[in-house]
Amino acid sequence: MKVIIHGGFFSESSTSPETKLAKQQALERIVKAAYAYLQAHTALETVVYACSLLEDDALFNAGTGSQIQSDGQIRMSAAVMDGSSQKMSGVINIEEVKNPVLVAHTLMQEEDRILGGEGATNYARQHGYASFSTEIPQRRAEYEAKVKATGLGTVGCVAIDQSGKLAAATSTGGKGFELPGRISDSATVAGNYANEYCAVSCTGVGEDIVSGAVAAKIVTRVTDGQAIKAAFEKTFAELKPYDGFCGAIAIDQAGNIYHQDSHPSMVFASFDGAALDLFH
Ligand code: ASP
């Protein structure tokens, strides 16, 4: 049993030491909570749980603390993928819900599993998700001052459970200042993908991640027999010609954990009950 989570990117030049420390503490707390949860839950349930904790922490750009789009609204996206059933479900540009990842998980029971915009928001209301503003004053002040919040802070989790099943979940508030209707990578197979061999969650510039089909490529390469490290290296090398900005976390069927970023530095933590690996 293992868990790895990410909380997007930060840059040394634009992140205060206090924020960095706060993110380290939050990731350590959440990865350990997710590992404890995994003892009695499936990988799928655990990735949803971990993402919901990350969404609830305003340090990250998902759920509470999400970025504001160019028209002043917050629209969030999230996806969940169960490696063993290969079912993916998600919401794209959902509004006014506390935990987009929980709505994405609820959609897994449906025939129509990925909903966008108003349809996603209406589905959430019909399934008991109350209207909730995820806006925090800091994001509104940044929006008013036309300052783009520093560091992309999408969240994600990948887990392997006691029966060797893999799952991935990703949740985002988007890039900030995007055109209404822009689609993030997070609820696509480029940003979040899993099968029985490997599960991957990405963060970074959604357009670059989609161009590089990052999560789907890594999973496909591992499925076809490449080692997880080689699969990452090849996929990240393919981002280079257009300076693609991406970070990814993954676990393979054998329980190997891997992560890589194209630029400094992705915020991540992994835990296997003994060893904690935390970004520094
Ligand atoms: N991937 C997200 C997006 O472009 C942003 C992020 O990773 O923080 O929507």
Q: Would you state the pLDDT for residue 10?
A: 85
Give distance in angstroms: CA of 32 to centre of ligand 1: 24
Q: Would you state the pLDDT for residue 227?
A: 98
Give distance in angstroms: CA of 152 to centre of ligand 1: 6
Q: Would you state the pLDDT for residue 151?
A: 58
Q: Would you state the pLDDT for residue 80?
A: 98
Please tell me which residue in 154, 172, 188, 203 is annotated as part of the active site: 154
Residue ranges of the domains in the chain? 2-66+80-85+136-278
Q: Would you state the pLDDT for residue 275?
A: 94
pTM across the whole model? 0.97
Contact present, 214 and 190 (Cβ < 8 Å): yes
Superfamily designation of domain 2-66+80-85+136-278: (Glycosyl)asparaginase (3.60.20.30)
Q: Is any ligand 1 atom within 6 A of the Cβ of residue 8? A: yes
Give distance in angstroms: CA of 184 to centre of ligand 1: 6
Atom of ligand 1 nearest to the CA of 209: 1
pLDDT in 10s for each residue of the chain, 280 residues? 999 999 999 877 777 889 999 999 999 999 999 999 999 999 999 999 999 999 999 999 999 999 999 999 999 999 999 999 999 999 999 999 999 999 999 999 999 999 999 999 999 999 999 999 999 999 999 899 888 766 568 999 999 999 999 999 999 999 999 999 999 999 999 999 999 999 999 999 999 999 999 999 999 999 999 999 999 999 999 999 999 999 999 999 999 999 999 999 999 999 999 999 999 9
Q: Is any ligand 1 atom within 6 A of the Cβ of residue 184? A: yes
Q: Is any ligand 1 atom within 6 A of the Cβ of residue 156? A: no
Q: Would you state the pLDDT for residue 65?
A: 93
Atom of ligand 1 nearest to the CA of 174: 9
Q: Is any ligand 1 atom within 6 A of the Cβ of residue 62? A: no
Give distance in angstroms: CA of 8 to centre of ligand 1: 8
Per the annotation, the verdict on 154 as an active-site residue is yes
